[in-house]
């Protein structure tokens, strides 16, 4: 994991395959949100919109699962091997937020 | 609630205020998703992205709460008063899906 | 729905079948929680316990879905027919809390 | 982490403080579930029960956060240092289930 600290934020250069997958997922999600906007514009009935929104939630949740799995297998595992303990606290912290 | 059945889907004409609120919320969510895409494009660190995604989840959840409250106060209440019992099953059905 | 206000809380007398189902579900959940306690007492590995706990969560969620469906079909529908509008606000309020 | 494989399940001997905390949390949760049973037995109104059940869900979620944090700081970190890679897959697997 190439880790340069240009700005205050740590960076993570991802393999092309992971990068492509994450971007494609987000493009689909963006399209779904636009689709829901059209449903509101076309006076579609409430329950149909509610179901679509929960589908977007599921897609975002799935995105997060993939990203988290990659993060643990790469950043977390590598940092622990290199003795960078702060990554453990970082992982625990983000999980506390995700597990609301 | 004006309910015409042009296509198989029931329609729901919403008051301008509700309509505007729902559209604005979705525009913000769309912007957030594009923002996350930029984060991936700019190799932002995983945990920062994970947190942003869960913020979009929260925004979608809040959108659904508003839509559901409006739906219950208008469609469901009106239909029950008019003896249209199927709306009760419809509400129960959608809640079963949302309460995963 | 027999609604007497002995104490500040509204009451709900449930049909025997619904009552039995709810009590049985809770007894099973109570047993599951005791089972998890035994796992901790027997030094069972963390991930096995984590999975069991999420199974209890799922059982509680399913209990809530059943209770909510019964509530909407009986209390909410009856009250709306009788013009008791406060039950609508009550339902919206509880859903806002459940949909965290 | 003392890891003996009496049965097919891995074991985890926890420090007294962690053990005591986990057991106390589960005892409280068990009491809450019994309390909900009493509410059903006493014909308490649906929405009051629904709210209590979601409080138990929150308590279980908080239990899982504590257990997961301890697991990552001890089992996962130690195993990765010792080159036991399977613990990474194990963590990713359990998170996929918890992040439904």
Q: Would the CB atoms of B94 and A67 count as touching at under 8 Å? A: no
pLDDT for A1 beyond 90:
no
Q: Would the CB atoms of B36 and A49 count as touching at under 8 Å? A: no
Q: What is the mean pLDDT of chain B?
A: 92
Q: State how far the Cα of B59 lies from the Cα of A82, in Å rounded to an integer.
A: 38
pLDDT band at A19, cuts 50/70/90?
very high
Q: What is the ipTM metric for this complex?
A: 0.89
Residue of C11, C46, C57 lying closest to D57 (CB–CB) = C57
Q: Determine the average pLDDT of the residues in D90-100.
A: 93
Q: For an interface test with D, give the residue of C46, C50, C63, C91 to mutate (most D CBs within 10 A).
A: C46
Per-residue pLDDT tens digits for A45-63: 999 999 999 999 999 999 9
CA A55 to chain centre: 15
Q: Determine the average pLDDT of the residues in B4-19.
A: 77
Which single residue is written with the structure tokens 């890679």? D85
The helix/strand/coil state of B11 is strand
Residue D82 distance to chain A (closest CA, Å):
9
B96 inside 8 A of chain C by CB? yes
Task: Kindly list the domain boundaries of chain B, sorted by start residue.
Answer: 16-98
D60 inside 8 A of chain A by CB? no
* Interface C-D: count of C-beta contacts within 8 A: 123
pLDDT for A67 beyond 60:
yes
C71 inside 8 A of chain D by CB? yes
Give the per-residue pLDDT at B10: 83
Residues of C in contact with D48 (CB under 8 A): 9
Give the per-residue pLDDT at C100: 74
D69 inside 8 A of chain A by CB? yes
Give the per-residue pLDDT at D9: 63
Residue of D30, D40, D94 lying closest to C30 (CB–CB) = D30
A75 inside 8 A of chain B by CB? yes
The helix (run of H) or strand (run of E) holding residue D26 is helix D16-41
Q: For an interface test with B, give the residue of A47, A58, A98 to mutate (most B CBs within 10 A).
A: A47
pLDDT for A22 beyond 90:
yes
Give the per-residue pLDDT at A4: 46
pLDDT band at A9, cuts 50/70/90?
low
D44 inside 8 A of chain A by CB? no
Q: Determine the average pLDDT of the residues in B2-23.
A: 78
More reliable by pLDDT, B5 or D98? D98
Per-residue pLDDT tens digits for B57-70: 999 999 999 999 99
More reliable by pLDDT, B32 or C5? B32
Give the per-residue pLDDT at B26: 98
The CATH code of the domain at B16-98 is: 1.20.58.1000
pLDDT band at B100, cuts 50/70/90?
confident
Question: Are the C-beta atoms of residues D87 and D80 closer than 8 Å to each other?
Answer: yes
pLDDT less than 50: residues of chain C: 1-7
Give the per-residue pLDDT at D17: 97
Q: State how far the Cα of A35 lies from the Cα of A29, in Å rounded to an integer.
A: 10
Q: State the chains in contact with B (3 or more Cβ–Cβ pairs under 8 Å).
A: A, C
Q: Which residue(s) pair with B44 in the sheet?
A: A11
Q: What is the mean pLDDT of chain A?
A: 92
Per-residue pLDDT tens digits for D5-41: 444 568 999 999 999 999 999 999 999 999 999 999 9
The helix/strand/coil state of D44 is strand
């Amino acid at each position: 994991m190439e880790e340069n600290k240009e700005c205050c934020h740590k960076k993570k250069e991802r393999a092309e395959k992971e990068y492509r997958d994450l971007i494609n997922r987000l493009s689909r999600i963006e399209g779904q949100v636009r689709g829901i906007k059209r449903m509101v514009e076309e006076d579609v009935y409430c329950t149909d919109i509610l179901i679509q929104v929960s589908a977007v939630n599921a897609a975002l949740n799935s995105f997060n699962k993939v990203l988290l799995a990659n993060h643990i297998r790469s950043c977390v595992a590598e940092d622990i091997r290199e003795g960078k303990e702060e990554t453990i606290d970082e992982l625990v912290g983000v999980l506390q937020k995700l597990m609301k």
